[in-house]
């Protein structure tokens, strides 16, 4: 038998292939779906409130139901990526999302909206962690941070698209039209994933699926020849080797000295998601309250997504150069200042656009960068579980973001106070990142993350 072939070593040593670009591109399109859904409900809210004659803050339970569903979906559905495959699980969630979105477009009561938003969230909960893990496992180590974070720009593009689509469709066709579009797009995406998205190379290696691994490796490294009896292994994470076919358990997130890093990661994601969910759901309505005309106010609110797009792209480049921890700590501090300053812009559209842009740059950019970081903190056998549970727990807890936002708005809190409260969690996130910087990684992931760790602590 030929000597074992280290698939990770080959991926890290090759130039980026068209197959890897295809993985990143399909991942970006999939994240566009998540961003589209997360943002369009916020932009539909003013029209829905008017059509159904709802009071201030009445949609808070609907927003919270969606966030809660996303968190639960990450915990319950995401780990299936470790058992049945990243792509199979992803395809299932995308197709279910299409069905629930179609039903939501026909809702007639707040209760129906809340239930269906929960169901949609349940399906979308696994999308970000699964896509991030999949791209991470195909990316060469030297380009991993920027490749993963640039891919996640799809989230911001989708969120901005949802806002602009709502602005043009709702006045002409009604609020439900946006959700009909949200049902059609996932069907096309599901077909694309079925045809062109390869399963995780590391997952297939653990399953000893030699034929599929060899076919993928020939596309990644066409200049190399692999013998018919080739045996593929991963040699960068000690406990992954010799454990082919073994699947993870959640308790492994707290073994091998992972407890501290796991809890700190959850804290960072939770604090950031509280702010992100609040901004995604309530920012359009709050900008309307500044006194700007509704169309102008909604266009101004889209700067959150444009800032996020730039933030995602730049943070990946900076993370490869300076390390995840330094970049995240700096950006959380900037996000705190930017969100607090939104309240000082008054009715100045330029001032609102600049401060909202800064807020989006920090909140959305750091969210996706944290997702990329989470995929480096765990070995392959529990990577999807680790990322999914980090997002899931954080999202479940962050349901308080839109809920508290609804309470503050219903009780007519001053805009300045609302935005100051929204800025505070960013300081706690910065503190958690600084603690992560001082936490050593467990032996089973230390070598995989050697570049990021050394740069982040230097």
* Start-to-end C-alpha separation, the chain: 43
Beta strands in 31-161 (DSSP E): none
pLDDT of residue 90: 94
Q: Are 155 and 129 in contact (CB under 8 A)?
A: no
Both structure tokens of 439? 């936490």
At 34, is the pLDDT very low, low, confident or very high (cuts 50, 70, 90)? confident
User: Is pLDDT of 331 > 90?
Assistant: yes
At 427, is the pLDDT very low, low, confident or very high (cuts 50, 70, 90)? very high
CATH T-level fold of 14-445: Growth Hormone; Chain: A; (1.20.1250)
User: Is pLDDT of 440 > 60?
Assistant: yes
Instruction: Enumerate the β-bridge partners of residue 232.
Output: 5
Q: Are 243 and 250 in contact (CB under 8 A)?
A: no
Q: Are 428 and 271 in contact (CB under 8 A)?
A: yes
The residues, ordered by sequence, that sit 6+ positions from 406 with a Cβ below 8 Å of its Cβ are 57, 58, 59, 60, 61, 63, 64, 282
The residues, ordered by sequence, that sit 6+ positions from 380 with a Cβ below 8 Å of its Cβ are 137, 202, 203, 206, 234, 237, 240
Of the two residues 446 and 189, the one the predictor is more confident about is 189
Summarize the confidence of residues 277-297 as an average pLDDT.
83
* Residue pLDDT, tens place only, 348-379: 888 899 999 999 999 988 988 898 888 788 88
At 247, is the pLDDT very low, low, confident or very high (cuts 50, 70, 90)? very low
Collapse the DSSP code of 308 into the 3-class scheme (helix H, G, I; strand E, B; otherwise coil) and give the result: helix
Summarize the confidence of residues 173-195 as an average pLDDT.
92
At 195, is the pLDDT very low, low, confident or very high (cuts 50, 70, 90)? very high
Collapse the DSSP code of 16 into the 3-class scheme (helix H, G, I; strand E, B; otherwise coil) and give the result: coil
User: Is pLDDT of 449 > 70?
Assistant: no
pLDDT of residue 445: 54
Q: Please tell me the least confidently modeled range out of 35-44, 182-191, 333-342.
A: 35-44
CA 452 from centroid of its chain's CA atoms:
20
Look up residue 250 and give its DSSP letter: G
Of the two residues 400 and 381, the one the predictor is more confident about is 400
pLDDT of residue 238: 40
Instruction: Give the ranges where 174-258 is alpha helix by DSSP (H).
Output: 176-196, 201-206, 210-220
Can you give the pTM of this predicted structure?
Answer: 0.72
Of the two residues 273 and 34, the one the predictor is more confident about is 273
Q: What is the C-alpha to C-alpha distance for residues 48 and 167, in angstroms, rounded to an integer?
A: 13
What would you report as the CA-atom Rg of the chain, rounded to the nearest whole angstrom? 22
pLDDT of residue 429: 95
Of the two residues 429 and 132, the one the predictor is more confident about is 429
Q: What is the C-alpha to C-alpha distance for residues 333 and 310, in angstroms, rounded to an integer?
A: 17
Beta strands in 158-290 (DSSP E): 232-233
pLDDT of residue 242: 37
Both structure tokens of 33? 């779906």
Summarize the confidence of residues 395-407 as an average pLDDT.
84
At 337, is the pLDDT very low, low, confident or very high (cuts 50, 70, 90)? very high
Q: What percent of the chain has pLDDT over 70?
A: 92
Collapse the DSSP code of 140 into the 3-class scheme (helix H, G, I; strand E, B; otherwise coil) and give the result: coil
* Residue pLDDT, tens place only, 72-100: 888 888 888 888 889 999 999 999 999 99
Summarize the confidence of residues 237-250 as an average pLDDT.
44
Helix (H) or strand (E) holding 5: strand 5-6
Strand 232-233 versus strand 5-6 pairing type: parallel
At 409, is the pLDDT very low, low, confident or very high (cuts 50, 70, 90)? confident
Q: Are 70 and 37 in contact (CB under 8 A)?
A: no
Q: What is the C-alpha to C-alpha distance for residues 277 and 272, in angstroms, rounded to an integer?
A: 9
User: Is pLDDT of 194 > 90?
Assistant: yes
Summarize the confidence of residues 193-203 as an average pLDDT.
92
Both structure tokens of 36? 């589209």
pLDDT of residue 456: 39
DSSP output for 311-365 = HHHHHHHHHHHH-HHHHHHHHHHHHHHHHHHHTTSTT-HHHHHHHHHHHHHHHHH
User: Is pLDDT of 458 > 50?
Assistant: no
* Residue pLDDT, tens place only, 114-167: 999 999 988 888 888 889 889 888 988 778 777 887 787 887 788 778 777 877
Provide the mean pLDDT of the chain.
Answer: 84
Of the two residues 247 and 332, the one the predictor is more confident about is 332
């Amino acid at each position: 038998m030929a000597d074992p072939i280290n698939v990770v070593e080959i991926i890290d040593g090759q130039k980026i292939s068209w197959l890897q670009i295809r993985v990143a591109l399909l991942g970006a399109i999939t994240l566009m779906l998540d961003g589209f859904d997360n943002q369009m409900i916020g932009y539909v809210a003013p029209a829905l409130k008017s059509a159904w004659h709802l009071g201030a803050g009445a949609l808070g339970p609907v927003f919270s139901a969606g966030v809660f569903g996303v968190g639960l979906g990450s915990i319950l559905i995401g780990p299936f990526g470790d058992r049945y495959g990243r792509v199979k699980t992803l395809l299932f969630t995308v197709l279910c999302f299409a069905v629930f979105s179609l039903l939501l477009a026909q809702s007639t009561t707040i209760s129906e909206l809340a239930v269906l938003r929960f169901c949609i969230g349940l399906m979308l909960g696994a999308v970000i962690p699964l896509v991030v893990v999949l791209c991470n496992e195909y990316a060469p180590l030297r380009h991993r941070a920027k490749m993963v974070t640039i891919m996640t720009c799809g989230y911001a593009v989708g969120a901005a698209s949802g806002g602009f689509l709502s602005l043009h469709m709702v006045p002409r066709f009604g609020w439900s039209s946006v959700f009909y579009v949200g049902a059609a797009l996932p069907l096309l995406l599901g077909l694309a994933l079925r045809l062109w998205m390869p399963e995780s190379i590391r997952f297939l290696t653990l399953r000893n699926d030699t034929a599929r691994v060899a076919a993928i490796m020939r596309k990644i490294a066409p200049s190399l020849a692999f013998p018919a009896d080739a045996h593929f292994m991963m040699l960068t994470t000690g406990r992954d080797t010799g454990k082919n076919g073994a699947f993870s358990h959640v308790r492994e997130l707290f073994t091998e000295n992972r407890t501290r890093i796991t809890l700190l990661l959850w804290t960072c994601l939770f604090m950031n998601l509280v702010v992100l969910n609040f901004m995604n759901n309530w920012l359009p309505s709050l900008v309307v309250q500044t006194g700007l005309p509704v169309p102008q106010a909604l266009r101004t609110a889209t700067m959150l997504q444009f800032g996020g797009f730039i933030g995602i792209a730049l943070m990946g480049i900076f993370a490869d150069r300076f390390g995840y921890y330094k970049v995240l700590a700096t950006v959380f501090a900037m996000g705190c200042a930017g969100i607090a300053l939104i309240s000082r812009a008054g009715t100045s559209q330029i001032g609102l656009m600049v401060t909202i842009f800064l807020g989006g740059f920090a909140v959305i950019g750091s969210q996706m960068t944290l997702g990329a970081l989470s995929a480096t903190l765990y070995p392959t056998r529990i990577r999807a579980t680790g990322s999914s549970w980090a997002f899931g727990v954080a999202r479940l807890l962050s349901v308080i973001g839109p809920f508290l936002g609804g309470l503050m708005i219903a009780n007519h809190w001053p805009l300045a106070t609302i935005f100051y409260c929204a800025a505070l969690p960013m300081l706690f996130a910065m503190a958690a990142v600084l603690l992560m910087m001082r936490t050593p990684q467990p032996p089973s992931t230390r070598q995989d993350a050697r570049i990021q760790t050394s740069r982040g602590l230097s």
